[in-house]
Structure 1
Amino acid sequence: MTEQQIAGSEPAAGSMKEVRIPVFPDKSWRITDFGAKGDGITDNTKAFQDAIEACSAGGGGTVVIPAGIWLTGPIRLRSKIRLHAEQGALVTFSRSFDDYPLIRSNYEGLDAVRAMPPIYGENLTDIAVTGGGVFDGSGDAWRCVKKHTMTERQWNELISQGGVVDGGGLWWPTQEASEGRRATEALQAEGLMDIALYEPYKVYLRPVLVGFTRCNGVLLDGPTFQNSGSWCLHPRLCEHVTIRRVTVRNPWHSVNGDGLDLDSCRYANILDCSFDVGDDAICLKSGKNEQGRRTGVPTEYVTIRNCIVYHGHGGFTVGSEMSGGVRHIEVCDCMFIGTDNGLRFKSTRGRGGSSRTSVFPTSG
C-alpha cells in the first residue's frame, strides 16, 4: 500500500467531524534485515523491536513483515510508525506468560494492572497496522473455558491437557489463573496498584490483542486480528481513529472475546469491517462508576458503516461501562447475521452516562 493510498481524511457520515488519517514518511525497514526468521519457531521479539527503533530513529515510516510465520512477544509501537504485514504473513504471539510484563492499564472501565497487549502503544501520534496479514494473539493459552460451551468430547480433550477445573464448571490454564479474580479484585478494592502484588496472578490478567491509549491518529487497515486473550481491539482515550477493511475473529465461546471496544474516544470511523466473535462485536464505552465520571471523557463523533457481524452477543453495543457518556454516533448499512442482539444498549443503575445514537437502515 502506498503512502498516497493511506493519506488524507475521510469525512464521517452526515454532519460528523472529519477523521484525520495518519501519513507516514516514504521509508521502510524490513524485519528480516534485523535477523527475523519466518519459520514459526524462532523468537523474533528483538528483531521486531530493533526494526521499530530503527524506523523511529530514522524519522518514522513503515516496518514491513513479509510472508512467513513470525513468532514474537509483544510489539511496542512508536510514533510515526506503520506496521505493515504483507499478504501471507502470520504473526503469532508467544504463548509464554513470562514474555508479557504487567503494566498499569484500564479494563472494563476501571484502573487495573494487566498483561501488556501483544500490539501496544501509549501517548503516541500517528500509528498504523496495515496489510493483508494475520495477527494471532494465542489467546487460547490465557482464556478460561466454560464447560457448557463445549461438547463432552471437547471438554475431555481440554482437561486432559492440564489446567484446573473449579467448582463452577470453568477450566483455567493454571491454579493462579483460577485464584486470580478474587485476589486481584481485593487488591483493586484497596486501591493497591503495585505491579509486584499482581505478579502471582498474571495468567488471570489476560491482555487485549491491540491496546492503544491516549494516541492521536490511529489507523487499522486490512489485517485480520484473531484469537485474543481478552478483548481484541481496544483504543482508549484516542482521537482520530480509523478502522477499515479489517477482519476480527474470536471463538464463539471465548470469554470476554469482544471484537472492538472503542473507549472514551472521539472522531472515529469504523468502515467495511467483518466481525465473528465470542462477545459484543462493535462496542462503545466510556468508563465505569466514579472513575468513569471523574475521567469524564465521552465516546463521541463516531461513524460505523458497512460492517458485518456474523456472531456476537451484540452487533452494535453501547456499554455497559458508559459513565462518561456516548454521543454523536451514526450506525448505518450494517448487517448483524448471527448475533444475540443486533443493537444492544446496556448499563446499570448508578453508573450515570447518557447515549445519543442515530441508527439508519440496518440489515439483520
Structure 2
Amino acid sequence: MKRLTTLALLGALMSCRAAEYPAATAKTNAGKLTDNAGAASATEALPNLPQVKTPSFRADTASVVKFGAVADGVAKNTQAFQQAIDAVSKAGGGVVLVPRGHWLTGPIEMRSNVNLHLAKGALVQFSADRADYHLIKTSWEGVAAVRNRAQIYGQNLENIAITGQGVFDGAGNTWRPVKKGKLTDSQWKRLVESGGVLNEKKDTWYPSASALKGSTIKEAFYLKPGKEVKDYEDIKDFLRPDMMVLDRCKRLMLEGVTFQNSPAWTLHPLMSEDITVRNVTVLNPEYGQNTDAIDLESCRNGIVEDCTFDVGDDAICIKSGRDEQGRERNMPTENFIIRNTKVYHAHGGFVIGSEMSGGARNIYASNLTFMGTDVGLRFKTTRGRGGVVENIFINNVDMRDIVGQAIIFDMYYMAKDPVPLAGESAAPPVIKAELLNEGTPQFRKISIKDVTCNGAETGILVRGLPEMPIRDISIENATLQSTKGLVCIEAENIRLKNVALLTTQTLPVMEIQNSKDIVLDGIRYKPGAELLMRVTGDRAKGVKLANTDTKAAKKDVEFGDKVSKKVLSISKL
C-alpha cells in the first residue's frame, strides 16, 4: 500500500496515536481534574476516572479510488467503499482515504483497525434509495428492535475511527416524517407537492404509505416475541436507520467530521467503551424528529469535547436502556467528560434520559453553551424505567433564548416535545402516589454550578414522584432570566445558593410544593415582585430561606391550605 503524506491525514493519525488522553486524567497538585486551561472542575472531590484509551493505526493508506470509487455524485460507490474498508482491515489495519469530491454510497460497515478518513472537501452522500437498506435486529430507544441498518455500522469491533474534515450527508428527508406545525405554510405546501402521503388529520407528512402504516402501529419498531425481521417488511420505510451505530465496540474515535441530515439518531455508540468524540459537528433540520446529535447508551469511559450540535431533537444524550430490558442489561453509562461544546437548536442541550433504566453515573460536564434550545439541562424519566442517575457534576453553562426550562428534573416525562405546538395541551399531569417497585426511577446527587440563562419560560423545574422525590440536588452561582423562577414539586434535600431568579411573572418567584429539606440561600430577585415564595402541600417540611432580602417583595410568603407557618424558617440578612 502507498502512504498518504497530506498534512491533514498526518495530523489525524498523530492525534489517534496518542498513548493517553491527558485531559481526561491530568491533575493539579490538589488532585482535581483539570481542563486544558488548568481550571478545576465542578466538584471539589473529583474521583479518579479511568484513562480513556484511544485508537492507533498503521500509516498504510488506501484510497477508495483504488477500488473503483468515482466522485461524480451519480455512480453508487457502496462496493468500492466496502472493499477498501475490508482490505485495509484484512491487511492489519490502516487508513481508508476518501479524497475531495462528491461520493454517493449506500450503507457501509466498519471493520477493526480502520480509520475512515474524509479529506477536506469530501462529501459522502448516503443513498436516498430506500431499497439500498435492509432490516436487522438491533436496539433502539433502549429496547430490542427491528430497524434499517445504520448508514455507518459496526459491531464487536476494536480500534476504529472516523476522522477528517469532510461531510457525511444522510439523505434524511427521504425517511423522516414532518409535522405541519413545524413548517411555514410555504414549506408545508412544497413538501406535500413533492410526493409522499398525509395522515388522516392532514397534519403530518410521511414519505411513503409504508412509513404512514408504521406510524399507526403501537410500538411498531419493537421486536415482539415470535416475530422475525421479515415480518416488518411492510413497514420498512417507518423503521428509519440511524446515521451511525457502533455496537459493543472498544477504542473508537470520531474527530473533525461533519454529520448532517440524518434519518434518525445521528451518532449512537451502544454498549461501547473508550470513546473519544472531538471537534465533531452534527447538523439536522430543526423539524427533524428523533434526530439526536449523540446518544451515549450504556457506554463507559469517554470524552466529548469541542463539538457543535444543531439538531431537531436532543443534542448530548446519556442513555442506558428502557424499562425491563434496560434493567436486565444493567449497563450504566458512566465515566464521561463532556465539555467545550455549543448547541443551537435542540430539544435539550445536555440530557439524561428518558431511557436510563441501566443508570448513569460519574458524568462531568463543563463549558457548555446553549443557544435557542427548547430546554437547557434536561433530566427526564418516568415510572416504569427504574434505574439510578447519580454523581452528575455540571459547571460553566451559558444559555440564551431557551424556549422552555433552563434546568429541569422531571420524573413524569410524557414522551412529547418539551414545548407544546399550537393547540397541544401544556397542562401539568396529575401526580398520585404509587407503590415503590423496580420500575421506580431515581435522580440524586447532582451538582450544578456557575450557570447563566438569558431568557427561558422557567428557570428551574424540579418535579419528582410522591413515592420517590428527586433528592440531593445542589445549584450554586446561577443567574437565570425567565418568566417563572423556581418550581419545586415532590423533592427532598434541594439546595440553591447564590441564585438570581430574575422573573417577569407576577406570582410567585419560588413555588415549593410537597417538598422537604429545601435550603434557599442567597436568593436574588427583581425588587417589587408581588410574591417571593408560595409553600403548598401537606407534605411540605423543613423549608429554609437564608441571606435573602424578603422586604424587596410586596409579599414575602404565602402558605397553602393545611400548611403550617412552622414549615418555613427565615434567617434575616
Band of TM-score, shorter chain? over 0.9
202 and 187 in structure 1: CA distance in 2 versus 1, 3 angstrom threshold = closer
- Identify the match of residue 242 of structure 1 among 276, 284, 294: 276
**Contact 2:169 2:262 (C-alpha < 8 Å) held by counterparts:** yes
- Aligned match for 2:292, one of 258, 267, 270: 258
May I ask how many residue pairs the two structures share in their alignment? 364
**Cα distance, 1:186 vs. partner?**
5.7
Query: In structure 2, do the counterparts of structure 1 residues 19 and 297 end up closer, same or farther at CA, with 3 Å as the change threshold?
Result: same
Partners of 1:174 and 1:351 in 2: CA distance: 33
Matched, 1:361 2:380: no
| Distance change >3 Å, CA 353–CA 326, structure 1 → 2 | same
Superposed, 1:287-298 pairs within 5 Å as 287-298=321-332
Picking from 64, 80, 92, the partner of 1:59 is 92
Q: Look up the equivalent residue of 2:347 and give its one-letter code.
A: H
Structure 2 match to 1:152: 185
Q: Name the counterpart of 1:171.
A: 205
Shift of 1:202: 1.1
Counterpart check, 1:133 vs 2:166: yes
Q: Which residue of 1 aligns with 2:337?
A: 303
Contiguous gaps of at least 5 residues in structure 1: none
**Which of 74, 94, 103 pairs up with 1:70?**
103
Corresponding letter in the other structure for 2:396: P
Q: Distance in 2 between matches of 1:265 and 1:187?
A: 23
Matching residue's letter, 2:195 = G
| Counterpart selection for 1:112 from 145, 164, 186 | 145
- Do the aligned residues in 2 keep the contact of 1:104 with 1:193 (CA within 8 Å)? no
More divergent stretch after superposition (227-236 vs 2-11) = 2-11
Matching of residue 185 in structure 1 with residue 195 in structure 2: no
**Is the CA contact 1:217–1:240 (under 8 Å) kept in the aligned structure 2?**
yes
1:17 pairs with one of 50, 55, 63: 50
Task: Report how far residue 160 of structure 1 moved.
Answer: 0.7
Q: Which AA in structure 2 matches 1:6?
A: C
| Secondary structure in 1 matching 2:354 | coil
Q: CA deviation at 1:17?
A: 1.8
Checking the alignment, whether the CA contact within 8 Å between 2:221 and 2:239 is kept in structure 1 is no
Aligned counterparts of 2:388 and 2:151: Cα–Cα separation in 1: 32
Superposed CA deviations along residues 248-268 of structure 1, whole A, max 9, x for unmatched, are 010011011111000000001
Change beyond 3 A, Cα 1:143–1:242: same
Quick one: which of 371, 375, 379 aligns to 1:337? 371
Q: CA deviation at 1:181?
A: 3.2
8 Å contact from structure 1 (residues 112, 193) kept in 2: no
TM-fit CA distance, 1:188: 3.4
How far the C-alpha of 1:184 sits from its partner, in A, is 7.0
| Higher helix content, 1 or 2 | 1
> SS at the partner of 2:88?
helix
Determine whether 1:4 maps to 2:14: yes
Q: TM-score, normalised by structure 1?
A: 0.98
Per the TM alignment, residue 187 of structure 1 is displaced from its structure 2 partner at its CA by 7.6
SS of structure 1 residue aligned to 2:215:
helix
What is the distance in 2 between the residues matched to 1:129 and 1:188? 30
Which of 125, 129, 141 is 1:92 aligned to? 125
Quote the offset at 1:189 in angstroms: 7.2
- Uncovered stretches (5+) of structure 2, i.e. residues with no partner: 1-8, 26-32, 34-47, 400-573
Residue identity opposite 1:40 in structure 2 = G
User: How many Å separate the matches in 2 of 1:193 and 1:258?
Assistant: 28
Q: Give 1:5 shift.
A: 2.5
Return the alpha-carbon distance in structure 2 between the equivalents of residues 90 and 66 of structure 1.
9
Q: What is the CA distance between 1:353 and its match in structure 2?
A: 1.0
- CA RMSD of the aligned region, Å? 1.3
Larger Rg: 2
Farther off after superposition, 346-355 or 325-334: 346-355
CA distances 1:297-346 after superposition (whole Å, capped 9, x unpaired): 00000100100101111100000000000000000011111111110000
2:384 corresponds to: 350
Cα distance in 2, alignment partners of residues 172 and 183 from structure 1: 14
Distance 1:201 1:6, change over 3 A: same
Q: Which amino acid aligns with 1:9?
A: E
What's the counterpart of residue 102 of structure 1? 135
Whether the aligned pair in 2 keeps the contact of 1:187 and 1:193 (CA below 8 Å) is: no
